[in-house]
Amino acid sequence: MKARLMNGGEIDLKQDTIDALRMRLRGALLMPGDSSYEESRTVWNAMIDKKPALVVRCLGVADVIACVQFAREHNLLLCIKGGGHNIAGLATANGALMLDMSLMRGVWVDKQRMVAHAQAGCLLGDVDRETQVHRLATVLGFISLTGIAGLTLGGGFGYLTRRWGWTSDNVIGMDVVTADARLVHASSDENADLFWGLRGGGGNFGVVTGIEYVLYPVGPEIVGGIVAWPASEAPGVLALYRTLAEKAPPELTLVAFMRPAPPAPWLPKEMHGKPIVAILACHSGNPEEGEKIVAPIKAFGTPIGDILVRRPYAQMQTLLDATQPKGRRYYWKSEYLSRIEPELCEKVIEHAAKIQSPYSAVILFQIEGTLNTLEDDHSPVGNRDARYVLNIAGSWEQADQDRSNIQWARNAWHDMKSFSTGGAYINFMTEDESPERIKAALGKGLERLATVKTKWDPENVFRTNRNIKPA
Ligand SMILES: Cc1cc2nc3c(=O)[nH]c(=O)nc-3n(C[C@H](O)[C@H](O)[C@H](O)COP(=O)(O)OP(=O)(O)OC[C@H]3O[C@@H](n4cnc5c(N)ncnc54)[C@H](O)[C@@H]3O)c2cc1C
């Protein structure tokens, strides 16, 4: 079995060497041809098609330690798969030893301390499901099938970001298997430098096996959903979005998007595939208050569909899941914005009209609030001046449509990037992003991250990520 070495070379792993690894594991060791190998090796974005040599479906910390030791003994390239949602496909690598964390999905809620401990293979929905039993939640993203590990290690934002900051701002501890195969805890009191690096520096410092999140009272009922209009109403709807977002209380998060209408049952059949503009709203506070606050959205113009209603918070967290299935082809460009300029809205309308596929969208996420109140070096995520995220989200099915869809996203981005703060979100970056863009994402934190990397992973064992080179 040919496998890739960390330094780029190749090694022929003998069967008895592979068997020796198998003996050290509780979870399954998979190779090409084994059932489940395909499921493990594939990631959300079908543009990425890589084949690790070996996949270990880790069942606990001991499996993770065994894999890191084995990789070190043989100098093997390692990769780590959480939810596999990273658009650049950073969870997988040809010829590598892949740690598939997807069977480590336990969540323990300490109601008294208002803390959840989640194993690193959890998807966002796993954490929401368990914390909502207690009417609690932490800050997670918009699609419940995304992995907590990648999202948290790169920052993380969602409907609760305006109230409580980046997801990583709400982490109080992580368990990590380091490059020398030790299990350590990182928090503000223990290994504080590592803790700082993990809250934005990605998977550069070790394999995270568990994450502790602060919880807040949320739900179970909130007001949330979508109101949609034909794209012809976009100038008015985006102006409304801009005005409402500027004065929205922190409990309310507003997202505007333009795309061809999906074949959703709440949209009239004759509109399916036709261009629409929509506002997605979530008021996570008192529902009566929420209903009053979202009333102007529901009353605006003549919507073609309106599902902005009282609903369980856990349901809100899954509302968009069907729009982002695993196995389509995806290409995104994104920028942080400090405000929504009327001229930007004009550009959104212009480029939405040029969308090449039934699934692509131009999206404006509101994130302004608590994250802007923390110091820039609170964590490597930085970008404390970001108040909105622009995401030009290309999504299509066939490889022969790659060129036109990628070109659409790139053209739109070139035309809109002048509105950027200069920063960008590392978790939304595709495979082809330049080192300058990584610098734009991590900014001033890069130098400090390199120091943390040098201490915790001097030989760069963890390199299938947005790699920070040891000094
Ligand atoms: C459909 C979709 C919706 C999204 N929505 C949001 C959103 O609402 N908010 C938001 O902030 N982001 C969002 N994202 C971006 C998301 O945060 C990133 O894609 C993130 O990388 C996903 O995490 P993952 O665990 O699924 O990734 P993976 O692809 O599994 O991993 C990503 C990186 O993290 C590393 N990693 C994974 N697990 C571990 C671990 N246990 N220890 C160390 N390193 C690890 C991997 O090696 C890899 O480098 C979305 C992405 C998609 C595809």
Provide the residue ranges of all domains of the chain, joining segments of one domain with +: 2-100, 107-217, 221-435
Q: Which of these, 36, 35, 152, lies nearest to 100 by C-alpha position?
A: 36
pLDDT value of position 471? 84
pLDDT in tens, 285-330: 999 999 999 999 999 999 999 999 999 999 999 999 999 999 999 9
With a 6 A CB cut-off, is 96 part of the ligand 1 pocket? no
**Mutation choice for ligand 1 from 44, 56, 146, 323, CB with most ligand atoms inside 8 A:** 146
pLDDT value of position 194? 98
Q: Strand 207-214 and strand 171-177: pairing?
A: antiparallel
Task: Give the whole-angstrom CA distance, residue 330 versus residue 115.
Answer: 35
Which atom of ligand 1 is nearest to 85's Cα?
Answer: 26
With a 6 A CB cut-off, is 203 part of the ligand 1 pocket? yes
With a 6 A CB cut-off, is 303 part of the ligand 1 pocket? no
With a 6 A CB cut-off, is 90 part of the ligand 1 pocket? yes
pLDDT value of position 338? 97
Which atom of ligand 1 is nearest to 141's Cα?
Answer: 8
Task: Give the whole-angstrom CA distance, residue 328 versus residue 367.
Answer: 27
Q: Which CATH number fits domain 107-217: 3.30.70.20, 3.30.465.10, 3.50.50.60, 3.30.1010.10?
A: 3.30.465.10
CATH number of 221-435: 3.40.462.20
Task: Give the whole-angstrom CA distance, residue 352 versus residue 80.
Answer: 35
Task: Give the whole-angstrom CA distance, residue 119 versus residue 99.
Answer: 14
pLDDT value of position 443? 83
CA of 86 to the centre of ligand 1 (A): 5
Cβ–Cβ under 8 Å, residues 76 and 70: yes
Q: Which of these, 308, 318, 256, 317, lies nearest to 287 by C-alpha position?
A: 308
With a 6 A CB cut-off, is 80 part of the ligand 1 pocket? yes
With a 6 A CB cut-off, is 153 part of the ligand 1 pocket? yes
What angle, 0 to 180 degrees and rounded to 10, lies between the N-to-C axes of helices 342-352 and 402-416? 170
Residue ranges of the chain whose pLDDT lies below 50: none
Smallest CA separation from ligand 1 atom 13, residue: 141
E-strand ranges in 205-340 read 207-214, 216-217, 221-230, 252-260, 275-283, 305-306, 309-312, 329-337
Smallest CA separation from ligand 1 atom 3, residue: 143
CA of 282 to the centre of ligand 1 (A): 22
pLDDT in tens, 373-387: 999 899 999 899 999
CA of 154 to the centre of ligand 1 (A): 8
With a 6 A CB cut-off, is 154 part of the ligand 1 pocket? yes
With a 6 A CB cut-off, is 121 part of the ligand 1 pocket? no
With a 6 A CB cut-off, is 58 part of the ligand 1 pocket? no
pLDDT value of position 409? 98
Partners of 352 in beta bridges: none
Smallest CA separation from ligand 1 atom 53, residue: 85
Smallest CA separation from ligand 1 atom 7, residue: 141
Task: Give the whole-angstrom CA distance, residue 366 versus residue 344.
Answer: 15
CA of 147 to the centre of ligand 1 (A): 5
With a 6 A CB cut-off, is 88 part of the ligand 1 pocket? no
With a 6 A CB cut-off, is 219 part of the ligand 1 pocket? no
Q: What pTM was estimated for this model as a whole? A: 0.98
SS3 call for 423: coil
With a 6 A CB cut-off, is 334 part of the ligand 1 pocket? no
CATH number of 2-100: 3.30.43.10
